[in-house]
Amino acid sequence: MALLQIEKMTHEFGGLRAVQDYELEMEAGQVRGLIGPNGAGKTTIFDLITGIHKPTKGKIIFDGKDVVGLQPHQIASMGLGRTFQNLRLWRHMTALEHVKMACYSKITYGLVEAFLGSSRRSREEAEIEKKAYGLLNLVGVGHMAEQIALNLPYGGQRRVEMARALATDPKILLLDEPTAGMNPEELVQMMEIIRRVHEELGLAIFLIEHRLRVVMELCEIIQTLEFGEVIAEGTAEEIQNNPRVIDAYLGRESVA
Amino acid sequence: MRPFMNIIRKWFSQVPTMSLLFGALVAVLLERGLGDPLAEILGLPKVPVLFGFVTMLKKPMLIPSTILYVFLVFVGPISVVAGLSASIANRLLDKLLNFPMLFSVIIHLGLLYAILHLWSEASAYRLLMLKLTLIAIMVTLSLNVINGYMGEFSCSHPGFMALGAYATSVMTVFLFAKDRLFGPPILPPVLGPFMFPFALFVGGMVAALGAVFIAIPSFRTRGDYLAIISLAFMFIVKSLIENLEVVGGPRGLSSQPDYANLPTVFLWTVACVWIINNFVRSILGKALNAVRDDETAADAMTVDTRRTKIVAFMFAAFWAGVAGGLFAHVLRYVNPGTFGIQKLAEVLAMVYFGGLNSVYGSIVGAVSISVLGEALRPLEIYKWIIIPLLLILVMIFRPTGLIAFKAFNVRGLISPKHKPLGDI
């Protein structure tokens, strides 16, 4: 069975059908892409998978367990890490604290130990700190660990967010437009990081993107979404030559 | 002006906290020995109780001699002794670095306690005021956990204090005191002081249980709506107690035994600061900040936001309850009218004046608002113009309070300060 299997997932916001009969089968270690015009429902799909919204209908089976109706933090601790389109960094925290925070579910010390400052607490927090530095170095912002994350340049903030998502020890990493708003140089670096994360940590990656170049280069299989429905699924070439995809992106040629 | 300031700053940069404590100790000893004759020589009616604020406002003619007194007894000796003892203190602190930090902390706290004890012995007014200030620190700090660290606007703190105050008082009065409501003591009063910490703990727990009623709505709502809910909770507690004739109703509950002496209040305050500071620096405590800054992101990063909220509310309410219990035993009388909107305004002012998300800020806020409130007492009604005005000014120039978002660094506070390398 696939690592993440989604069957007939449908979601309605009031009367608006945002996602209809969405299906997905994702194996461990796979890199997949999800493209589509603005408002097609890509981010909604991520929100449904990670439990921020509960689907109106359908099944989401991750790692053999049905995750529909679980709290987002429960789903995240099972191994579904994500980043956000609009970053969602914490305003007053340093880069290091961001990554440490995402290790929340791995803490085994209890409240009383947090109150009194036991040796187990200091040991665990030291381990987490070490891990956090490792991840920050992996994405290339280790030297800025002590700075408030929002004071970093935009590319740096994206990397901190990536490190934060990695700290949850995901099996699948959901990246919501990881290159949005980046200049060409930052874009190349970000693609390099995604590749590195995939190779070094062996993660499955599910990617929402607007820039076709990124998806085409990184992803094995690409889904195209329009008005909440998958209109095409296949490899980069298949997608590129699919007439419905071209229509969705460039508009239908009017019959004169 | 600037070079002068630099000299002072440079000079202070080598003075460790310990020698400031030495200086303060000498100052309070000096006042104890020479205060009365000195006041007489300077023509003051008596030793200025609160650094001369009250005397100066009441009799402007005495301003020069009051300032001279404060300078001769406090400012002068503290600066001189702190400066002279700096190198000795630094050497001592260097040696202390070889021992566990706890050892050094205890020495500092011992010195601080000695200073407060000697200072407050001079008059009953000083003692009362000191105890109330220490309690204010606990209340402010615990409210800061909710309003600062977690960023919810909670107005229920006086309610939590009332729950703690009544729970503790009922226990001690019922068990150890002779009272018109509860009759003769059930247990021998000798046991009382030993049971007092337990009674305070129970008071805190009762308040923490009350906090569940605020924490559960906070799962679904925040901001203005939660503020209203918590305000409602405060009024519910107040009217509940007013209508409970068993505990005296609006007339209040008195004859609490005299258990809340200075060491007790001091130790509980130290415990409160220590535990809250420990908590907010752990990852579990930092989760409060994550919930405040972006709850969705916190949830997606495995933070159990419901648990975090419920823990924060119960934890803060616990300390408010303990503070309430101490408050009732310091005054040895408690009535529901105390825990109304005025108390709320006072505590909120302390939190926002001192600074959000900061242990230093809460201490500074609680002490300065308490001292100001007492010092400006002779101005009577104008006091309530000056203090709010000050608050408005702070909000204009430092919107998050005087010392916001600053970690309380115990190690830095007690470590030796050597000459800075190179000139600044």
* Domains along chain A with CATH numbers: 4-79+170-250 (3.40.50.300), 89-155 (no CATH)
Same domain for B208 and B86? no
Per the CB < 8 A criterion, the answer to whether B56 and B63 are in contact is: yes
Contacts 24+ apart (CB under 8 A), B277-280: B277/B359, B277/B408, B277/B410, B278/A114, B278/A115, B278/A116, B278/A117, B279/A114, B279/A115, B279/B145, B279/B315, B280/B145, B280/B149, B280/B359
- Note whether B163 and B251 are same-domain residues: yes
Residue B423 lies in a domain: no
Q: Is residue B262 part of a domain?
A: yes
Whether residue B263 sits in one domain with residue B209: yes
Phi and psi, residue A139, nearest 5°: -90, 0
B116 Cβ contact partners less than 8 Å away, ≥ 6 residues apart: B130, B262, B266
Closest CA to B401 of B339, B373, B372, B359: B359
Contact residues, chain A, for B357 at CB < 8 Å:
92
Q: Nearest-CA neighbor of B318 among B285, B271, B357?
A: B271
B176 falls within a domain: yes
Is residue B214 located within the same domain as residue B306?
yes
**Would an 8 Å CB–CB cutoff place B88 in contact with chain A?**
no
Please tell me which of the candidates B278, B289, B303 has its beta carbon nearest to residue A104.
B303
| Mean pLDDT on A154-172 | 94
A88 contacts in chain B (CB < 8 Å)? 294, 296-297, 300
B130, B67: one domain: no
Interface of B with A in 329-368 (CB under 8 A): 357
In a domain, B26, yes or no: yes
Q: What pLDDT was estimated at residue B421?
A: 45
Q: How far is B127 from chain A (nearest CA, A)?
A: 30
B316 lies in the same domain as B384: yes
B243, part of any domain: yes
Any domain includes B417? no
User: A72 and B296: CB-CB below 8 Å?
Assistant: yes
Mean pLDDT by 10-residue block, N- to C-terminus, for chain B (424 residues)? 74 84 93 88 85 83 88 90 89 88 92 95 92 97 96 94 96 89 86 93 97 91 90 96 92 91 96 96 95 95 95 97 97 94 94 94 95 87 87 91 86 76 42
Is B115 inside a domain boundary?
Answer: no
Q: Is the dihedral of CA B97, B103, B107, B112 positive or negative?
A: positive
pLDDT for residue B112: 96
- Residue B387 and residue B318 share a domain: yes
For A111, the closest of B294, B300, B311 (CB atoms) is B311
Quote the pLDDT of residue B381.
84
- Looking at beta carbons, which residues of chain A come within 8 Å of B296? 52, 72, 84, 88
Q: Which pLDDT belongs to residue A255?
A: 57
Candidate from A84, A100, A115 with C-beta closest to B283: A100
Give yes or no for residue A78 having a pLDDT over 60: yes
Closest residue of B to A102, CA-based? B301
Give yes or no for a contact between B282 and A114, defined as CB atoms under 8 angstroms apart: yes
The answer to whether the pTM exceeds 0.90 is: yes
- As for how many domains chain B has, the answer is 2
> Does B243 share its domain with B358?
yes
- How many CB atoms are located within 10 Å of the residue A170 CB? 22
pLDDT in tens, A18-69: 999 999 999 999 999 999 888 889 999 999 999 999 999 999 999 999 999 9
Cβ-defined contact of A101 to B279 (cutoff 8 Å) = no
Residue B349 lies inside a defined structural domain of this protein: yes
Of A105, A117, A128, the CB nearest to B302: A105
Which amino acid, one-letter code, is at B91? R
Tens digits of residue pLDDT in B106-116: 999 999 999 99
- SS3 call for A59: strand
Query: Which domain does B208 fall in, by range?
Result: 123-412
Q: What CATH number corresponds to the domain at position B345?
A: 1.10.3470
Are residues B147 and B75 both part of a single domain?
no
